[in-house]
Amino acid sequence: MSTRKERCWGNGMKIRIAGIAFLSLAASAAGAHPTVDSPSLSFLPAEGQVVDLLAQDAGVRQAGAMLNSAQAQARALEAGPHEFTLYGNYLSRATNTDGRLNEWTVGINRAIRMPGKASADEKIGAFGIAAAQNGFGDARHQAATRLKLLWLGWVLAENDAALADQDVAAYERQLAATERGRQLGQAAMLNVEQVQAALAQARAVAAQAQEARLESRMTLQRSFPGVSIPDAPPVMPDPVAPPGTWPEWRTAVLEDNHEIKMARSEADRREWKARRASMDRFADPTFDLRTFQERSGHETGFGVGVSIPIGGALRQATADQASAEAAAASVEAHRVLRDVEIVADRDVIQAQQGLAAWRAAQAAADSSAAMLKRMQRAYDLGDQGLTELLIARRQDSDVRRAEARARASAHSAILQLMIDSHRIWGLGDEE
């Protein structure tokens, strides 16, 4: 009776696993979430390339292997912990009256799971698969975040290097003009030395920027070997708030989060493991069938036996341990939910403040550019000195770099909000 029940459950488990795979494929084909159109995506790799890059990530491959492991474990739980054992023995003995006698025994035994244990094993396996699936999704999520950060770091490093080269070119032009003025008696040697010092400093900054550019490019290529990096870096457009309201985005992060789902699945798995351990305080009975021959066939027989281990302190301690681990997993699930709520709030705050900071930085950059243009005109007319012009140029360089960083930070915050809510790159398709 129990064997038939386990066989039926096994077929049901296979159907459930196949159903999970089908639903995952259906979600991928139909799209788990509506497509988001944002300027923050325009200078990143195409979605198809990103999906391939995420699939090649070592952490994602490891999580995929762990998912295969969880599925194999579910099959093992389906089969149950007991197997048939075939045994036998042969004995040849001699007596004074009957001579040599041949005797043997052959038997087979197997333990049978008590009622309820197979169902508990089913749930343990199913929740294990669910936890591993969400672990796989979370690994893709983490890989997407790394790709975003490394790509933005490379674009920003390229921008810094370009700004540094522009500064060097500007100081070189200024030096050439100042040297001509000195030759014509319109500038002092001190002016030439001032520009030379500013040029030397600009070249040092450019060398550092070039080093950072090469390092960021190398890190991106090594972290994601399949990435296609263009020779000319893409231009970061003006960041724009994502479509929808900020509360909607916060809710999306909470509703579609692999960490929460994984923690809940693990808590459920631990809960059922605790129930299973409690059931194991009553051991499974072992049934034995045997046949034998004694006295060279003068005596033959068939026997049936049953044995049941008597549970004691070990089984009780194991059940208590599993119960404590289940309680700890439940607490962990609540902690993860609280942490994700903090992440959701932080994502929205960073996106809002990132946009505000970029607008302020852009206004400062526009004002600085206009001021530098006026200072250059005033210097050419002799109304301003060289020192003031060099200070204005240095300040303009700092403001332009700050604007680029604020622009990148705003894009990063908006992209993180879309990543955490699984609105891009198929991050919710595996659910």
pLDDT at 96 over 80: no
What's the pLDDT tens digit per position in 326-368? Answer: 999 999 999 999 999 999 999 999 999 999 999 999 999 999 9
DSSP-assigned letter for residue 243? S
User: Are the beta carbons of 133 and 63 closer than 8 angstroms?
Assistant: no
What's the pLDDT tens digit per position in 68-79? Answer: 999 999 999 999
Give all domains of the chain, ordered by start, each with its CATH number.
2-157+203-420 (1.20.1600.10)
Q: What is the mean pLDDT of residues 392-416?
A: 95
What's the pLDDT tens digit per position in 22-54? Answer: 334 333 433 445 668 899 999 999 999 999 999
d(CA 245, CA 275): 44
pLDDT of residue 187: 67
d(CA 412, CA 289): 69
d(CA 396, CA 56): 42
pLDDT at 1 over 70: no
pLDDT at 401 over 70: yes
Q: pLDDT band for position 429 (50/70/90)?
A: low
Mean residue pLDDT across the chain: 88
What's the pLDDT tens digit per position in 223-264? Answer: 999 999 998 899 999 999 999 999 999 999 999 899 999 999
What's the pLDDT tens digit per position in 158-193? Answer: 999 999 999 999 999 989 988 887 777 766 788 888
User: Are the beta carbons of 107 and 288 closer than 8 angstroms?
Assistant: yes
pLDDT above 90: percentage of residues in the chain: 71
- CA nearest neighbour of 206 among 254, 157, 266: 157
Two tokens, residue 296 = 């060279």
Does 17 or 425 have the greater pLDDT score? Answer: 425
Q: What is the mean pLDDT of residues 131-155?
A: 96
pLDDT of residue 189: 85
* Size of the chain, expressed as the number of residues it contains: 431
pLDDT at 20 over 70: no
pLDDT at 10 over 50: no
Instruction: For residue 85, report the phi and psi dihedrals to the nearest 5 degrees.
Output: -120, 120
